[in-house]
Structure 1
Amino acid sequence: MRRSSVATSFLLVSALGLTACSGGGSDGDDGARKAAEGLATALAAAAAPADGASTPSDPLAAVTWTGTDPATVAKEYAAVIDGMDGIAPSVEVAEVDGEADKPTATLTWTWPVVAGGDPWTYDTTVALADGDGWAVAWAPSIVEPSLADGETLDATTLLAERGEITGAGGEKLVTERPVVRIGIDRTKVTAAAAPASARALAELVDIEGAPFVKAVKAAGDKAFVEAITYRANDVPAAVRTGIDGIAGARQVTGEQALAPTRDFAAPILGRVGPVTAEMVEKDPDAYRPGDVAGVSGLQARYDEQLRGTTGRSVHAVPADGGEERELFLAEPAAGKPLALTLDRRLQTLAERVLGGVTPASALVAIRPSDGSILAAANGSGTGGQNYATFGQFAPGSTFKSVTSLALLRAGLTPQTQVQCTPTVTVNGKRFKNYSDYPSSAIGTIPLEEAIAQSCNTALIGARAKVKDGDLADAAASLGLGIDHDLGFPAYFGEVPPPASETEGAADLIGQGKVLASPMAMATVIASVQAGTTVVPHLVDGVDVSVPSEAEPLSAAEARQLKAMLRRVVTNGSGRGLADLPGGPVIAKTGTAEYADGGTIRTHAWMIAAQGDLAVAVFVQTGESGSRTAGPLLEEFLRAAR
């Protein structure tokens, strides 16, 4: 986007419209200065973009020229600066000598070639003629002192090397990898034929045609208009051969910041691509049309850090196609890396585990000792959305980990006897256990057995023990429900005050208004495993201190919680994990009902921890936590060792 300096704006107000002036030799330097100021203003105005103001359509017509006419000057001036990427200079009068035998003016040109960088600044000399008023002799050297007739200026953007995104151990997750860009080269096709070529190429590479045709029409005669970028090894054979039959279609090799695979943590990492019109309009100082930047995910959020500083070179281009001369160079500055905690092996494993799951799914793995997120995978059923750290779903019985803590704080112990009945009714709402709940666990049973078998009615029957706010406080102690910015899209869940006794009863079993993301539930089981409140951590350099609202877990609470969740594996609904090699596993299964177009379906959850690894698996529509999510979690833990 073209920009004018403050100095140019001032000159436009104060001097625009002045001709080379009357006065002849009698006004000496004064007349010459007025002519020079009118020229400076006209040159800047002619280079500036139309902005709707009352700027003359041909500012150079306000200047008296010797030996030529304003229309010819305007045409030649436009040709000289046409290759300057739309950058508008400011032009000021530095010095005037109207009394000399050959009067001259010195103009200072300032081009903001790189936003935020040192401008390209130089002086040119203008020959003035004093006859019937002051006039100016046109020459390309007015624009740049070394330019000869027919030479033009050409600015080339020099892209900065984008900062890498690294993972655990400093391993490169996103780095420059070879790509092939497919597009229309306007130097190879006429303006009349370009739209047809654009439509044909859009059909070949399977992109929307109308926007691409519009972009090709709007591009300059020397532009390369990109349609799509492929990884070097992923270009379809039909595309490689098909472009040969489309006038102006080309494939250009290059490099682009990419993850190991197309799908690797894609919803979280985001992608890099051409800036959108909205980005340019919102921040014209940072982005110009044609720039490449982060357009989604962490690539967009940390784009300023990652993209570095764009450079530019300016050359004088001879009319005969001879050797170009470099006039100015602003070197690009490489972007700074972004360090994440993702473990490439575990992230790849998590995505492989979810690879065959048709419904939307997610898997999050956290290291309890420091909260590092080692994997945050989203299955293909999410449609590219980030369910792993930002999904908002009822956690079902996995939330009984939180309810257990609230009951312990209310005075119960793992051995406290509770009543597990087939059903329980609260204000007319009937609650029951899941369909294959073991009949042997019905009746008066210890709290630890109610948690192991996931008895809904026992926890709802103990609701009088849980006072207002107790459930939310227990959730906070396990890292759920206290939202704060961790430098990436993160939903910590919520446990709002219930609007009724019925809703409060549903909250106790992870339904009602309770919501959580897979990351939040992985944090819960990580906190139990660590014996302290865990705050998930993904981006290095972001504060992850424990919120002050979270009451610390006592040693006794941590010990009792861990023992109850261990019993889930040895005696309860998590028995599928009992034979995992390695240290003891703690776990909790969960199933949560949700309405889908009038049909009641179930979310399937399972959370577990072993050693210094805590995992949550979520499947949006499944049979149950143990049957649907359980095998996925087991596969991950077995292979993660």
Structure 2
Amino acid sequence: MGNSKKLSLAMVGIILGASLAACDDGRGNAEAAAKQLASAFAALDVGPVAFEGRDSAAVNEQVKEVFKALEPDKPSVEAGELTLDGDAATVPLNYTWKIASAEWKYTVSAELKKSGGDWLAVWDPADLAPDLAEGEILTKGTQSPQRADILGAGDAQLVTYRPVVNVGIDKPRLGSADAAASATKLAQLVGVDPAGYAQQVAASGAEAFVLAITLREEGRSITDQQIAEIPGARGIAATVPLAPSRTFARAVLGSVGEATAEQIEASAGALAAGDVTGIGGLQQQYDAQLRGTDSVVIRAQRADLTVDQIRAAATDPRRVVFQVAPTPGTPLKTTLDPALQSLAETTLAGVGPASAIVALRPSTGAVLAAASGPGSNGYNTAMLGQYAPGSTFKMVDSLAMLRNGLTPDSKVECTPTLSVDGRTFKNAEGYPAGSLGSVTLRDAFAHSCNTAFIAARDTVSQSQLEAAAIAMGVAVEAPSLGAAAFLGSVPGEGAGTEHAASMIGQGKVLLSPLAAAIMAGSVAKGAPVSPQLVLNPDAGAAAAGATGEPTAAAGSPSSTVTPEAPAQASDKPITAAEAAALSDMMRAVVTSGHAGFLSTVPGAPVGAKTGTAEFGNENPPKTHAWIVAVHGDLAVAVFVEDGGLGATTSGPLLKQFLTAAG
């Protein structure tokens, strides 16, 4: 009985084992091989895969060659439902590529064969892309859409495509002419370095066109005939995004050109060598919005197909396997007024040191002009400069004094000198003796009596100065501006000579010309001005990527002071009544003070405040020259970095600007 039972159990085991073997038709191993193949294609590394009759290393090189143009991108590849037919199997491979903003999806059918108990992949280039043949590769082409314009007030085109001529040596046109001689002649004609350009031409390939310079078509003095007289020289017409002139608002707008090495490195793969992008200013800050997205075309073609063969063919020998349409950029709308911006730049054209003119509309905060003079060397002095504001800051002092109960008619003491902790402060050279002694606050303001304002330091604390500055819209952030800017820094704490220096806009007090214009504008408006330059900072898909960080440039401010973080908006902004009192005092600067030259400016009465701030260690010290003014619904600040007195240096520039502005 026992032996019979054992025999029965053994028979059951044999039958069950045979049944399991019948169920395992090899599908499991085939599916594992299919998954391995899918993973290998996803990694673009088929070295570990066994192929029927093919060397894995050779196949691996072919795979890399097919997809080389798509680097560094890789696909995701999933194996679908396997179909088994004896020792053969087919499996769909589902590819997904991330190409620009789109997905490229396709399915190919891969074949597997069983050999000696192992499942081997059967090599077919069509496993990589639909209908790909032996000897074919994929190529990737991109083309940028036309860059969007930067617009000004009234949607005036500030930066738009304008005609240019690319002038250079076209080496195939040289014939038997000497390349170095032609390059030297052309360089001398267009004003570039002859030795450097000749070297560049020599180092370029035989088929190259070597650019020497890009000239604006409008107003160019170098003619096509002059260019054609030089063997191999050529001018090629093109259009590029340009402002109305080479200097027009350049520090604010930036420029467009080939991406720098630093930009490419910082772009996380978004930019490559040769890509055109914004460089500095709004062009860089809003580059993605202005640039849009490139079209992308992926083609299959013979690996040995040359550019010349493609050009010569009646029909394109390549076939398109995937493409992404371009997305146009979105124009950037700004408040800059082309006429006022040009006027500001013309006004500063002859100024040697760093300089700026900023004009804004107090009622709206619109920045109409933000010009930095030629001495700024490309730096945005107008918006990013950090300078001691000198006596223009007495507007802030005066607001604090008004808040302490004074009026423009209150009496203050104006002495020739004043000593604070051993340091002697004095009034500017030529201060009128008739305005010394007990004078009204209005008179002290009109003639800019330093000692009268420093004498108020015991009743006006440093924190009150900070609060008054914030109340006038400075030393705060500029959330509506849409561009990088410095709106000032006023310490909330300070004692002794530092506090005394703050009362005359020196010490650690810093403003930019933009901040000075805001300060004057807040008086005209009767409320703090919130400046605005960019009207649509969130337009387009790219605005979220704009950082608003300024780009480092030559000609940075001379001040070595690191400003404190700007304070937040004041809980007690300037009132209409306070602004009216300050407006009365600013008008007195013109009617009875040392800005009388502004009395002849046509139109609305002008109110102003001059400022002179010492800097550096020279004896006598150099000075920043300031003047701010309000003229109807216009507030203007003029600044010259090394400029003597505000009234005598910046004043005439302001008068010239206001008179021409109308």
TM-score (norm 1): 0.81
Query: Are 1:43 and 2:41 counterparts?
Result: yes
**Alignment-derived partner of residue 55 in structure 2:** 69
Query: Are 1:502 and 2:523 counterparts?
Result: no
Secondary structure in structure 1 of the residue aligned to 2:80 = strand
Amino acid at match of 2:158: L
Cα displacement (A) at 1:109 = 2.1
Query: Are 1:30 and 2:24 counterparts?
Result: no
CA contact (8 A) 2:470 2:573 kept: no
Taking the TM superposition and a 5 Å limit, the aligned residue runs for 1:55-454 are 59-84=45-70, 86-99=72-85, 103-114=89-100, 117-132=101-116, 133-178=118-163, 254-284=238-268, 286-318=270-302, 319=305, 321=310, 323=316, 324-454=318-448
Give structure 2 stretches of 5+ with no counterpart.
Answer: 1-23, 174-182, 539-566
Q: Deviations over 1:552-577 (max 9, x none)?
A: 33443222211111111111111111
Secondary structure in structure 1 of the residue aligned to 2:82 = strand
**Alignment-derived partner of residue 534 in structure 1:** 529
1:624 corresponds, among 635, 645, 648, to 645
CA contact (8 A) 1:28 1:99 kept: no
| Aligned-partner Cα distance in 2 for 1:225–1:111 | 37
| Aligned-partner Cα distance in 2 for 1:101–1:408 | 98
CA contact (8 A) 2:478 2:530 kept: no
Q: Deviations over 1:258-299 (max 9, x none)?
A: 322232222222233344455455453644554433342222
**Alignment-derived partner of residue 551 in structure 2:** none
Secondary structure in structure 1 of the residue aligned to 2:248 = coil
| Aligned-partner Cα distance in 1 for 2:330–2:238 | 21
| Aligned-partner Cα distance in 2 for 1:381–1:535 | 28
Amino acid at match of 1:494: S
Q: Deviations over 1:505-525 (max 9, x none)?
A: 221111122111111111111
**Alignment-derived partner of residue 56 in structure 1:** none
1:602 corresponds, among 605, 623, 641, to 623
Cα displacement (A) at 1:108 = 1.9
**Alignment-derived partner of residue 588 in structure 1:** 609
| Aligned-partner Cα distance in 1 for 2:148–2:90 | 49
Query: Are 1:488 and 2:483 counterparts?
Result: yes
| Aligned-partner Cα distance in 2 for 1:202–1:334 | 37
Instruction: Tell me whether 93-102 or 477-486 shows the greater mean CA deviation.
Output: 93-102
Cα displacement (A) at 1:241 = 6.2
Amino acid at match of 1:146: D
| Aligned-partner Cα distance in 2 for 1:100–1:207 | 75
| Aligned-partner Cα distance in 2 for 1:89–1:185 | 41
CA contact (8 A) 2:477 2:568 kept: no
| Aligned-partner Cα distance in 1 for 2:234–2:119 | 52
CA contact (8 A) 2:259 2:271 kept: yes
Amino acid at match of 2:529: V
Query: Are 1:633 and 2:654 counterparts?
Result: yes
| Aligned-partner Cα distance in 1 for 2:271–2:624 | 43
Secondary structure in structure 1 of the residue aligned to 2:277 = strand
Amino acid at match of 1:420: C
| Aligned-partner Cα distance in 2 for 1:395–1:186 | 56
Cα displacement (A) at 1:584 = 0.5
| Aligned-partner Cα distance in 2 for 1:558–1:278 | 47
Residues 429, 335 of structure 1: CA spacing in aligned structure 2 closer, same or farther, 3 A cutoff?
same
| Aligned-partner Cα distance in 1 for 2:106–2:169 | 37
| Aligned-partner Cα distance in 1 for 2:364–2:467 | 22
Cα displacement (A) at 1:628 = 0.7
Secondary structure in structure 1 of the residue aligned to 2:33 = helix
Number of paired residues? 586
Cα displacement (A) at 1:488 = 1.4
Amino acid at match of 1:579: T
CA contact (8 A) 1:95 1:107 kept: no
CA contact (8 A) 2:255 2:283 kept: yes
Larger of the two Rg values belongs to structure: 2
Cα displacement (A) at 1:107 = 1.8
Cα displacement (A) at 1:187 = 13
CA contact (8 A) 1:388 1:519 kept: yes
Cα displacement (A) at 1:364 = 0.3
CA contact (8 A) 1:158 1:331 kept: no
Amino acid at match of 1:329: Q
| Aligned-partner Cα distance in 1 for 2:80–2:487 | 61
| Aligned-partner Cα distance in 1 for 2:164–2:96 | 37
Residues 63, 205 of structure 1: CA spacing in aligned structure 2 closer, same or farther, 3 A cutoff?
farther
Amino acid at match of 2:98: P
Identity of aligned residues (%): 45
| Aligned-partner Cα distance in 1 for 2:134–2:220 | 45
Q: Deviations over 1:185-229 (max 9, x none)?
A: 9999xxxxxxxxx9xx999966999xx99xx99x9x999999987
**Alignment-derived partner of residue 17 in structure 2:** none
1:513 corresponds, among 508, 516, 520, to 508
Cα displacement (A) at 1:463 = 3.0
| Aligned-partner Cα distance in 2 for 1:272–1:95 | 52
| Aligned-partner Cα distance in 2 for 1:206–1:123 | 56
Instruction: Tell me whether 488-497 or 423-432 shows the greater mean CA deviation.
Output: 488-497
**Alignment-derived partner of residue 571 in structure 1:** 592
Amino acid at match of 2:129: E
Amino acid at match of 2:125: P
Residues 274, 484 of structure 1: CA spacing in aligned structure 2 closer, same or farther, 3 A cutoff?
same
Amino acid at match of 2:521: A
Secondary structure in structure 2 of the residue aligned to 1:119 = strand
Q: Deviations over 1:219-257 (max 9, x none)?
A: 9x9999999876566999699969x999xx998765443
CA contact (8 A) 2:471 2:569 kept: no
2:578 corresponds, among 532, 549, 557, to 557
CA contact (8 A) 2:227 2:235 kept: no
Instruction: Tell me whether 323-332 or 552-561 shows the greater mean CA deviation.
Output: 552-561
Amino acid at match of 2:104: W
Residues 463, 284 of structure 1: CA spacing in aligned structure 2 closer, same or farther, 3 A cutoff?
closer
| Aligned-partner Cα distance in 2 for 1:236–1:90 | 57
Cα displacement (A) at 1:145 = 2.1
Residues 231, 586 of structure 1: CA spacing in aligned structure 2 closer, same or farther, 3 A cutoff?
same
Amino acid at match of 1:566: R
Amino acid at match of 1:292: V
Residues 254, 79 of structure 1: CA spacing in aligned structure 2 closer, same or farther, 3 A cutoff?
farther
CA contact (8 A) 1:293 1:307 kept: yes
| Aligned-partner Cα distance in 1 for 2:621–2:43 | 67
Cα displacement (A) at 1:377 = 0.6
TM-score (norm 2): 0.78
| Aligned-partner Cα distance in 2 for 1:99–1:202 | 73
**Alignment-derived partner of residue 477 in structure 1:** 471
| Aligned-partner Cα distance in 2 for 1:632–1:383 | 19
CA contact (8 A) 2:92 2:110 kept: yes
Secondary structure in structure 2 of the residue aligned to 1:510 = coil
| Aligned-partner Cα distance in 1 for 2:408–2:260 | 58
